[in-house]
Amino acid sequence: MNTAILSMNLVVWLALGIVTVWRLFPLLTGTGRGPGRVMVFVLFLTSFLSNTFGLPPVARALDGIADGLDRVLLNLTLIAAFFNFIYFFAAQLPRRELFIRTWFQGMLGVIAGAVMVTCAVVSPIGVPRYSALPDYGATAAFLFYVLGSVYFAYACVMVIWLGFRTAALPDVSQPWAFRTCAIGTTLVLLGGPVLRTTSILLRWSTAGAVTVPDWIEGTGQTVLTVGILGYVVGLCAIGARTLIAKTRVNIRLRRDYRVLRTLWTALHEAFPAIGFRPVGGLAGRIGLRRLGIGYRYRRRIIECRDGLWRLSPYVADPDDESDTLSIAAQAELVHDALRHVRDSTAEPVAEPVAIAAPAKNRSDDTRLLALASAFREIAQPRSGQTASAGVESPA
């Protein structure tokens, strides 16, 4: 059973590590640093760290540095994780009562953490492992575990209540995922804080005369692990919906990015100055921001608009004098203008104007994408014909 529990803990740890790195990427690339994204990243980070400190190899290494260090770090990161759990679920509600406001929950977490650290410091035997606690004395060590279990029980009840309450909202997406989180947290509550508090109080009050049977302890550990796994599954399901929506947006951006390639290449060859280098923070200087398709797409849009602005003085007047000029005709004029710009003697014939300007708002790229698509249809066949003309037919 211990091997199975360790295997499940490793699966949970690995899943949390993958999701934590995934949530870190938008923060490093600068594509999304809003409070919500930071909150979700911190939530997964604290969960990952608490699971890391609970792994036997890591716990033994920390215990070798200072006796009880792994237990102190584990409980502090668990307090931070539970605070983020409460904050995450409370943020889904339209209004927040006093006892689920951020400052109130943060104050409770800080007080619980400070008291536990104080118990660990003043304990003459440090913080031994739960199974190694003496049957009498060691009041500070017992208080360390009791106070931790009481706070975690309170936090679990809050998460369960908020999870079911959020799932009952009429406009919430994936209510089953929130219910899964609440059910998983219920198992965590039963297998963790409730059983741990009962066992500690029995040993403490009876000086070890009455203890919880080993089979109940083993069953509680299994229930705790299953509950953690269920909670992680529900939480990842909530994030999966965001991932699917973001993936769809990225697929569309990549398609539009490729549509702009031919026009951008021609404009960049004619006006090399339209290319710009990212400036600012670390992400811009080392190029991490360039990995995001959203950034690369917006950069290409800006460079294309700049290039069309520089090209506009060389665009000849259309033969069609009507007010509206088709996209195909505009693409033809742009193609001819680029050919004239390659001639060093070309002179501008008009004042610069915006070509394929947004129709509705500044973020509307519909006209520019249509122009780029039409330009690609014009430029690619002609480039193929030019290449064919340069090849002499065999005698």
CA distances from 110 to 78, 79, 115 (A): 12, 8, 9
CA distances from 179 to 154, 182, 185, 241, 244 (A): 18, 5, 10, 16, 20
3 pLDDT higher than 60: yes
Per-residue model confidence (pLDDT) at position 111: 93
Higher pLDDT, 335 or 381: 335
Per-residue model confidence (pLDDT) at position 392: 40
Q: Which residues contact 178 (CB under 8 A, 6 or more apart)?
A: 89, 92, 163, 164, 166, 167, 172, 234, 238
Average pLDDT, integer, range 258-279: 83
Per-residue model confidence (pLDDT) at position 261: 92
Q: Which of 16, 14, 181, 31 is nearest to 92 (CA)?
A: 181
pLDDT bucket at 167, cuts 50 / 70 / 90:
confident
Please report which residue ranges of 168-292 form alpha helices under DSSP H.
Answer: 175-189, 195-206, 214-259, 261-270, 282-286
Max mean pLDDT among 144-158, 290-304, 361-375 falls in: 144-158
321 pLDDT higher than 70: no
Q: For the chain, what is the mean pLDDT? A: 79
Percent of the chain whose predicted confidence (pLDDT) is above 90: 13
63 pLDDT higher than 50: yes
Average pLDDT, integer, range 71-86: 88
11-20, 208-217, 260-269, 354-363: least confident range: 354-363
Higher pLDDT, 155 or 134: 155
pLDDT digits (tens, 9 = 90+) for 100-140: 677 788 888 999 999 999 998 888 887 887 777 776 667 88
Which amino acid belongs to residue 345?
T
Domains within the chain, CATH numbers bracketed: 2-252 (1.20.1070), 267-384 (no CATH)
335 pLDDT higher than 50: yes
187 pLDDT higher than 80: yes
Average pLDDT, integer, range 288-299: 74
How far is it, in rounded angstroms, from Cα 346 to Cα 314?
A: 8
Per-residue model confidence (pLDDT) at position 132: 73
How far is it, in rounded angstroms, from Cα 10 to Cα 5?
A: 9
HSE-CB of 138 using CA atoms within 13 angstroms:
23
Per-residue model confidence (pLDDT) at position 395: 31
pLDDT bucket at 391, cuts 50 / 70 / 90:
very low
195-199, 297-301, 386-390: least confident range: 386-390
How far is it, in rounded angstroms, from Cα 377 to Cα 53?
A: 58
Tally of residues, the chain: 395
279 pLDDT higher than 60: no
The answer to whether 119 touches 144, Cβ cutoff 8 Å, is yes
